[in-house]
Amino acid sequence: MTTWFNETLYKGFRQSHEIKKVLFEGKSKYQKVKVFESGRFGRVLALDGVVQCTEGDEFVYHEMLTHLPILAHGNVQSVLIVGGGDGGILEEVLKHKSIKRVTMVEIDGAVIEVAKKYLPKICGKAFSDKRTSLVVGDGAAWVRDTAERYDLVIVDRPDPVGPATVLFSKAFYDNCRRVMKPGAILVAQNGVPHMQGPELTDAIKLFQKIWAHSGTYLAVVPTYVCGFMSMTWACDRDITDVDPRKVFDRFDKAMLPKLNYYNPEIHFGAFALPNFVARLLPAPKAQKKAAAKKTR
């Protein structure tokens, strides 16, 4: 008899993975952790019954949350990753030889241990890289207290439940801004607009209170079901306005190992939004100011 892993993310809709073999199942201080060999996507990591990543399609998410902001920035040397216990983001970031130090703050040490043991195809040797500083703790407390400053902050957060709720608060993003060097970029996963439209609107509204520029770009991650996944960004300059020749040139110079999703064409294509997604975004700050002047 076939056993299925059922994930009910949205009311009235669920997805199922065939479970070939359960490799790990346990309960940490924060959540239920499960790794299983699936029928179609290789090994799957689930936390509290929600798929976090799979060997079969993790490359889309992890490549797009790292290479796009790194190459848009052009001189990233220090990176902060909040969450990201599976090590997938860390592994992609470290592909850039120009990056000198990466701090990863993950609240649940159990996720890191499970990833090291069962998900080496996702994290590689990233946890033992000498540029990695691993902190087991709350990302919100880290950005509140640290004296470190970063060129890039990647918020690899799950949905807003449990300890991750703080990773959706204004106080957290105010403190993220505090730890960012001038010109630094912040990126975060923001769910699937087809099912989570208001969450995207709320994220951009929040970013607009803190940064001069923000927006979203898209990628399709098969196991984050229901179409495009949105990745939001914030910065004190417009990262969509970088000369494409610069990004192509930076990409050539980075000499990254073979990637499976990101390339400089996708970099710019990802900012093109279908109308229903564009309508979810509040007007940019500059547009709002102009509109306010007109009505005076």
- The residue sitting closest to ligand SAM, measured at its beta carbon, is 83
Q: How far is the CB of 29 from ligand SAM (least distance, A)?
A: 10
Q: Which member of 57, 86, 108, 156 is catalytic?
A: 156
166 scored as a contact of ligand SAM (CB under 6 A)? yes
What does the buried/exposed string (b/e) look like for 131-170 if buried means 16 or more CB atoms within 10 Å of the residue's CB?
bbebbeebbbebbeebeeebbbbbbbbbbeeebbebbbee
What DSSP string runs through 45-114?
Answer: EEETTEEEEETTTHHHHHHHTTHHHHHHHS---EEEEEE-TTSHHHHHHTT-TT--EEEEEES-HHHHHH
**Binding map of ligand SAM across residues 123-162, x = CB under 6 A, - = no contact:** ---------------xxx---------------xxx----
**Binding map of ligand SAM across residues 57-76, x = CB under 6 A, - = no contact:** ----x---------------
Q: How far is the CB of 87 from ligand SAM (least distance, A)?
A: 9
- The length of the chain is 296
Q: How far is the CB of 289 from ligand SAM (least distance, A)?
A: 34
175 scored as a contact of ligand SAM (CB under 6 A)? no
Q: Phi, psi (5° rounding) for residue 197?
A: -55, -50
- The CA distance from 58 to 48, in Å, is 19
Nearer to ligand SAM, 83 or 264 (CB): 83
Q: How far is the CB of 86 from ligand SAM (least distance, A)?
A: 5
Q: How far is the CB of 151 from ligand SAM (least distance, A)?
A: 20
Using CA atoms in the order 178, 180, 183, 184, what is the torsion angle rounded to 10 degrees? Answer: -140
Is the distance from CB of 262 to CB of 95 less than 8 angstroms? no
Could you tell me the two tokens for 214?
Answer: 């923000």
Identify whether 48 is a catalytic site residue: no
Considering only residues 7, 91, 106, 151, which one is a binding residue for ligand SAM as defined by CB under 6 A? Answer: 106
Considering only residues 7, 57, 86, 151, which one is a binding residue for ligand SAM as defined by CB under 6 A? Answer: 86
Which listed range, 106-114, 173-181, 198-206, 208-216, lies at the site for ligand SAM (CB under 6 A)?
Answer: 106-114
- Bridge partners of residue 135, in order along the sequence: 105
189 scored as a contact of ligand SAM (CB under 6 A)? yes
Residues labelled as active-site residues = 156
**Positions in the binding site for ligand SAM (CB under 6 A):** 47, 52-53, 61, 82-86, 105-108, 111, 138-140, 156-158, 163-164, 166-167, 189
